[in-house]
Structures are given as C-alpha cells and as structure tokens.
Amino acid sequence: MDTTNPSAAAAGTFTIGGDIEVNRLGFGAMRITGDGVWGPPPDRDAALRVLRRALELETNFIDTADSYGPDVSEELIAAALHPYPEGLLIATKGGLERTGPGRWPRNGRPEHLKRACEGSLRRLQVERIDLYQLHSPDTDVPYAESVGALKELQEEGKVRHIGVSNVSAEQLAQARELVEVVTVQNRFNLTDRASEDVLELCERDGIGFIPWFPLAAGDLAEPGGPVSEAAERHDAGPGQVALAWLLARSPVMLPIPGTGSVEHLEENVGAAALRLEDGEWRAIADAVGG
C-alpha cells in the first residue's frame, strides 16, 4: 500500500454538532507525553513535529485532555499549532485527575470540572473550547451534576459543544436529557466491542462515536489471522487494517489513533485510503463474533 502521501480526508468527513466538519480519521494526543502519560515527552521537538505533521496530512481533529501529562499535551498543542488554522477542531476533556504514572482517579464534581475547563482554555490559548468532553462518570457524584456543570460552561460561552466518554447507553440517555451530546468517546476496537449498543445509538441519531484504543487487534493480527491476511493482500500494516475496519464499521466512527512518532503517524493516516473488501471486513468481524 502506498502511503507516501497519506491523507486523512480519504476516509470522508463527519459533521460534529451540525456545524463542525472534520475528516473522520483524527489524532489522539495522549502519546506525545512522557511514559505512563506522565510528564513531558523525552523529545519535545519530536512531539511538536508530530503535531505539525498531522496537520500537513489533513488531520483536522485533535483529541486531548487536561489529564494527559497532566497539562502537557494541551501545552504542546498550543506550542506547535497556535494560532490555530481555520477548520481545526481541538477537543479536550475534564473529569480525571492524575496522582502519578498510570493513576487516573475520577473527579466529576462540578467545581472541579469548571476549574479543569478554565485550565484547558488557558493552556490551549482559546476563549472557547469547541468540543469539551466529560472524561468519565464519577460514581461519587450524581452524573446529572457533572453533566450540568458542562451545561453551565456552555451557557457561559466557554464551551461550544459537549461530548461524553466512557458511558453506558443509560448514561448517554441521561446526559441527553440535560444537554445536546454531539460525541461519545468509548473504548472500541476489533477485539473489544462492548460498546456496540452505544455505537448503534450514536449511528441512529447522528452522534459522533470516537473509539479510544482503536489499534488493538489481538490474536487477529497473528500470522494466518484475518487481519494479518488482509494486511498482506493490501500491502499494509495490521494497525492500518484495524483502523480501516473501524472506518468501514459506521459512518459516525471517528478513530483517533495516537503516537509520538512521525513515521507511525504517517502509517496511521495511510489507513484512510485502505478499502477492505466486504469479505475481508466480515471475516474480521466474524472472528470475534461480531
């Protein structure tokens, strides 16, 4: 597969919230931080190059969070890309705190979410966040209170659109009773499709579905597996096949693979041009009962 000039636009576009059109293959900015998504990256200049190269490849949807670093990912995005070009959507999230590498305690208290949003506005150097997402429900806080805090931020003009993450179908319905939810970000990949019911709701109602951890392929990528066989036929990598499968799964699917390497970024974006045959797509789906 030729990836010398990959383009995220080849996968088509999706309009978030009825007014923000993005290329469906985005970029997740978690991996531009240090090990354990903690602290600065080992090579700051390399991280900046990845972000700038993403835009050169027509990626116009970048997803981040205040907890990535913490703060580091948002600061790097601003350092690399501000002033932001027209048409670039930078989405961020609040609702998780960091107490060390690999530790992500939840905090859905309204006062915390409002402080988190203010911090993201400052680090990203914007007056309004176009897509602000509640990172996760907090079992110690009524979900309606957390979502209500985002509604207040939206009413204050600090947030344009609201998304939710790591939710069940019931939690999504509860959030939609309070605000217009334009995106859902749940874990979803070839081998983990536990959020199929949420995806189907998003597809039915035109809500963007952002699958996190999208590159996982597990045993399907082993030699002789359906992902490996499709990759060989298309002269592609297993990760590209995994992304192509997701893009073909639903028109509301917005994968956000992340990396700290320009080479890996280019490989990921190249997946937008890969077209799986119906038989290949079904063989992969059937391999894990989907």
d(CA 192, CA 214) in angstroms, rounded, equals 9
The burial of 271, by beta-carbon neighbours within 10 Å (0-12 exposed, 13-18 middle, 19 or more buried), is given as buried
3-state secondary structure 175-198: HHHHCCEEEEEEECCCCCCCCHHH
Check if the beta carbon of residue 9 is closer than 8 Å to that of residue 273. no
Residue with tokens 């602290």: 39
Among the listed residues 279, 212, 192, 271, the one whose alpha carbon sits nearest the alpha carbon of residue 238 = 271
Catalytic residue list:
68
Q: How far apart are CA 76 and CA 123, in angstroms?
A: 9
| CA–CA distance, 119 with 220 (Å, rounded to integer) | 41
